[in-house]
Amino acid sequence: MVRFGKKEKKAPEISEEFSRLINKGTDLIQQGNIPEAEKYYRQATEIESKHPFAWGMLGVALYQLGRNDEAVEAFEHSLKLDPDQAPILVNYGSLLKTMGDVKKAEEILKRASKLEPDMHTIWYNLGNLYRESGKLGDAIKMYWKALKLNSSHSDCWFNLGLTYEMDGKMKEAERAFRKTVELNPSDPQAWREIGAILAGRGDYPQALDALDRHKAIRPTDAIGWFNRGTVLLNLDRIPECFMAYKRATELDSTFTEAWARLGAIYLVGKQFKDAENCYRSAIRHDPEDKRLWAGLVESLEGQGKMQEASETRKRFT
């Protein structure tokens, strides 16, 4: 039989086939096969059209498939049948946040918190809502509420770290990120953030260690390579720094700052044509940045292209 939590006793009588469909849908959700899960949940709503849980889980599947308008309809239908389903309210609130309806999302999540105040995901989702709305103090409070209920939620620790970082509280951010990797050592973003914080306070050897961990987990992250290049630059390991910035541009050809750093290295080495190519690549993606035009002018002058350099200078002065 399907378990419906605290509201099971209020649910309508259900058939064995309905239970089978719901259980199969849930198994498929856990396996990541969302398209197939949707089919089973939809069949369940056809068998028991007035069962709120079936409609709610159909909404979850549709949400994960990115079919947001259909998901809203399913959630609304589910909550019309039973307005007191905290897990469905949490998913609906998360969807509304994704769709940009922050006010209604907050209202929905607060409704859920009154029904199930010990459900940590409610406070976690409220934290996400407040963080993305710029209400950093409120977000931090919500994350701590969630962590008091479930201290092993690594994503919550990570988002708490992000919020502290946004608020300029780097020591607190580092502690939260370190707790994240303690719980989930293979979290690449947490290692990247630890590396950035350590680099920001000048602890470059430890920053490089953290970025080594990041690279081992996610070797195709352009930002990670860029951060690595910056650390290596400060360690005066220029050849490795150059290769790190180059790798960043290979992974993301629109990475303006990585192109600019490469251009600067070429300028120092008096490789002016290569510097020109880098600055042109950077300008292609950010034509408003005067630094890039200045670098281009210097690279042109280094090649003796004085007329072109003069004309280029006029474009940003």
The domain locations on the chain are 1-83, 253-317
Longest dimension (CA), the chain: 85
One fold for 1-83 and 253-317: yes
User: Which pTM does this prediction carry?
Assistant: 0.85
- The model's pLDDT over 168-179, given as tens digits with 9 standing for 90+, comes to 999 999 999 999
Cα 78 vs. chain centroid, distance in angstroms? 29
Residue 15 has pLDDT above 90, yes or no: no
Q: What pLDDT is stored for residue 3 in this prediction? A: 36
277: amino acid identity, one letter: N
Question: For the chain, what percent of residues have pLDDT higher than 70?
Answer: 96
Mean pLDDT for 40-63 is: 95
Rounded Cα distance between 201 and 241, Å, is 19
**In the block, residue with structure tokens 């490795």:** 240
Tell me the C-alpha to C-alpha distance, in Å, between residue 121 and each of 117, 144, 157, 220, 261: 10, 12, 13, 31, 42
- The model's pLDDT over 91-142, given as tens digits with 9 standing for 90+, comes to 999 999 999 999 999 999 999 999 999 999 999 999 999 999 999 999 999 9
Cα 176 vs. chain centroid, distance in angstroms? 16
Task: Count how many Cα atoms sit within 13 Å of the Cα of residue 302 in the half-sphere of its side chain.
Answer: 19
Q: Assign residue 182 a region: left if phi > 0, alpha if psi is -120 to 50, beta otherwise?
A: alpha
Which residue did the predictor score with more confidence, 31 or 11?
31
Q: What is the C-alpha radius of gyration for the chain, rounded to an integer number of angstroms?
A: 26
Rounded Cα distance between 191 and 216, Å, is 10
Is residue 277 exposed (0-12), middle (13-18) or buried (19+ Cβ within 10 Å)? middle
Residue 144 has pLDDT above 70, yes or no: yes
Q: What is the CB neighbour count within 10 angstroms for residue 47?
A: 15
Q: Are 240 and 208 in contact (CB under 8 A)?
A: no
Pick among 3.40.50.2300, 1.25.40.10, 3.10.580.10, 2.40.30.30: CATH of 1-83 = 1.25.40.10
Q: Which token pair is 31?
A: 């396996």
Q: Which fold has domain 253-317?
A: 1.25.40
State the average pLDDT for the chain: 95
pLDDT band at 12 (very low <50, low <70, confident <90, very high): low
- The model's pLDDT over 184-238, given as tens digits with 9 standing for 90+, comes to 999 999 999 999 999 999 999 999 999 999 999 999 999 999 999 999 999 999 9
